[in-house]
Structure 1
Amino acid sequence: MLRTMIGRGLATCATVLGIALATTGVARAEDIVLKMAHVYTPGNIWYETAEAYKKAVEDRTQGKVKIQIADSGSTGDWPQSIEGLAIGTNDIVLQSIGTLDRYGIVAGVEAFPYLIRDLDHFRKVYDGPIGAELADAIAAQTRFRIVGAGYRGARHLTANRAVPTLEDLKGLKLRVPPLKMYSMTWAKLGASPVPMGVAELFTSMQQKVVDGQENPLEIIESMRYDEVQSHVMETAHVIGAMTFIFYDARMKRLPEDVRTVLIEEGRKAMDDASTRMAAMEAEIKKRLQGKGMTFVAVDRDAFAAKLADMPDAFPDLKPWVEKIRAVK
């Protein structure tokens, strides 16, 4: 009798536990720990986006899925972090889509100059059918799965002098991310691009190893480039997209309901970040001006015209460029 009662009690507990897990939307998730890496520091919007994603996933799964974050580049810079996805030391990396172009050219379309026009166009591209198609193409070519797209703001050129025209760019030693798209863009514009990791950039500008760099305003502010650069040229040459990057094969091995949570909350976190960033750009500009930086208008049409034949240099990207430009 006692054995029967205990057996029934255990069965009842198991049933209740099964119902509780099912109602969380992650019925099969047990003690899943995912390691995320990024290079952003406390106070930066992308640092906060990572924290918001962690909280949303853990809350929605009632702690059955946990995300451990290594921030501020504590486990390496972004190329090392992405390599960590392939070998399994990382499960998620927060970085721009274009950083995957070393694994497959299609990801480089994110950094294509004068392609995304504004925030409205950004959302129509990345949140629409083109964005879904692009994510699948990137996964097929690079083995990495992108989740969500966060408006990073426009990238601008900085230097210690005004550079209002293409003529003024000649001879400018310009640090660029170690990606083919950026190097070709600035070489065609007349500068002398110097591929370099971000970790050494501040010191390189301080010691005059390079004359300038290009980044969104939030990076210029958070990395304190105003301390070593005096002018911001409003080139707005790239409107980039941040994303959560997973190793596709490993992600597919997760329970389907876990993948659903990771994808849905990732998209929401990036969408929220897009809204925040759009509101922040004007505020950041004012703060940088208050710190002594001079903002210089440039003839963007002249810059874009100089790059008109760029699609021909990237035949694999040309169809994507045309599709994205056609989105109204």
Structure 2
Amino acid sequence: MSSRLKTLLGAAAIVVASALTAHAETTLKWAHVYETSEPFHTESVWAAQEIAKRTNGRYKIDVYPASQLGKEADINQGLKLGTVDMIISGSSFAARDFKPIGVTYFPYIFRDPSHLIAYTKSDVFKRLAKGYEDKTGNVITAVSYYGTRHTTSNTAITKCSDLKGVKMRVPDVPAYLAMPRACGANTTPIAFAEVYLALQNGTVDAQENPLTTIEAKKFFEVQKNIVLSGHIVDHLNTVISKSRWASLSDEDKTIFREVMQEAAAKTTKIIEDREKALVDDFKKRGLNVVEVDKADFEKNVLEKVKFEDFGYEKSDWEAIRAIQ
């Protein structure tokens, strides 16, 4: 073989190797606990496809819904273990590593979804998100609205004292317990999958969840009062693991963040639209949709619940409340 031919073949091999390297596909795992019909899943699938497009196929992201890779605590642990690359999860789990970020679950801290979204663009959010990042190395790239938590009950509830003595199922998360306990309810941490039966057989008299969950889980079939307590404007974070984030180029970091924020915005709009429609839907089904004296609920919470009990800072609560 002539030296010229060897040179040409060598150059060709380099070109092919470079092309293969440029288009090498990295497969990532994105996990969450929500159903495939929910926007937290559908918009994650869209985001996975969009990231593949914008990175010219260098990343293939497989989305695992409905706790396929474990419950919420498991997938948060998976970020540390490297078994998942990104997750969708609530700030109550982020607060296990950095308590102050959980202040967003304090009852009545947010006025409405638009206030929540304004918070996600604020300096106080950047500071709290950085505190979580400094503690774990994981990065919160986006925040989506999950829904406003309301109450269903056997009897109509219009003020805080109406909950006194009521057996109420509440998730076993400290800040979720704040409002019911401030109002004197007897809280019970029943597993989510067992809530319908517990309401049906009278193990508990009430529960709380967003309207979309009340509809999806058919709690309205066994509770005729939809009480618009609106005590928590809930949200979910899109989080990328420390090791995966470190592996991304600055250009790819920008792509991942932008796409995930677009997906979160689409999710937020879908949830808001669904909630607005559900109030009328519940009324049409003959349910008693009850407006409450939110000021009364809020007053009781502030008088009877201490920020310090949760590891929150009152200054953070004040800063968030002041956001317009």
TM-score (norm. length: structure 1):
0.87
Match of 1:137 in 2: 131
Instruction: Work out the CA distance in 2 between the residues paired with 1:264 and 1:60.
Output: 11
Q: Alpha carbons of 1:291 and 1:65: their partners in 2 closer, same or farther (altered >3 Å)?
A: farther
Gaps of 5+ in 2: none
Q: Alpha carbons of 1:208 and 1:259: their partners in 2 closer, same or farther (altered >3 Å)?
A: farther
1:227 aligns with 2:207: no
Instruction: Work out the CA distance in 2 between the residues paired with 1:133 and 1:167.
Output: 37
Aligned-pair CA distance for 1:305? 0.6
Question: Do the aligned residues in 1 keep the contact of 2:97 with 2:132 (CA within 8 Å)?
Answer: no
Match of 1:6 in 2: 9
Residues 241-280 of structure 1: pairs in structure 2 closer than 5 A: 241-280=235-274
Residues 27-176 of structure 1: pairs in structure 2 closer than 5 A: 30-176=24-170
Match of 2:317 in 1: 321
Q: Alpha carbons of 1:315 and 1:123: their partners in 2 closer, same or farther (altered >3 Å)?
A: same
Question: Do the aligned residues in 1 keep the contact of 2:79 with 2:242 (CA within 8 Å)?
Answer: no
Q: Alpha carbons of 1:263 and 1:192: their partners in 2 closer, same or farther (altered >3 Å)?
A: same
Gaps of 5+ in 1: 22-28
Aligned-pair CA distance for 1:143? 4.8
Instruction: Work out the CA distance in 2 between the residues paired with 1:143 and 1:197.
Output: 31
Question: Do the aligned residues in 2 keep the contact of 1:32 with 1:65 (CA within 8 Å)?
Answer: yes
Instruction: Work out the CA distance in 2 between the residues paired with 1:50 and 1:218.
Output: 19
Aligned-pair CA distance for 1:58? 1.9
Identity among equivalent positions (%) equals 27
* Stretch moving more, 111-120 or 141-150: 141-150
Aligned CA RMSD, in angstroms, stands at: 2.4
Aligned-pair CA distance for 1:166? 1.9
Aligned-pair CA distance for 1:249? 4.4
- Cα deviation code 1:153-199 (max 9, x no counterpart): 31101122212222220122222222111123321121122234423
TM-score (norm. length: structure 2):
0.88
Instruction: Work out the CA distance in 1 between the residues paired with 2:18 and 2:245.
Output: 29
* Stretch moving more, 130-139 or 98-107: 98-107
Question: Do the aligned residues in 1 keep the contact of 2:226 with 2:287 (CA within 8 Å)?
Answer: yes
Question: Do the aligned residues in 2 keep the contact of 1:97 with 1:146 (CA within 8 Å)?
Answer: no
Instruction: Work out the CA distance in 2 between the residues paired with 1:103 and 1:202.
Output: 32
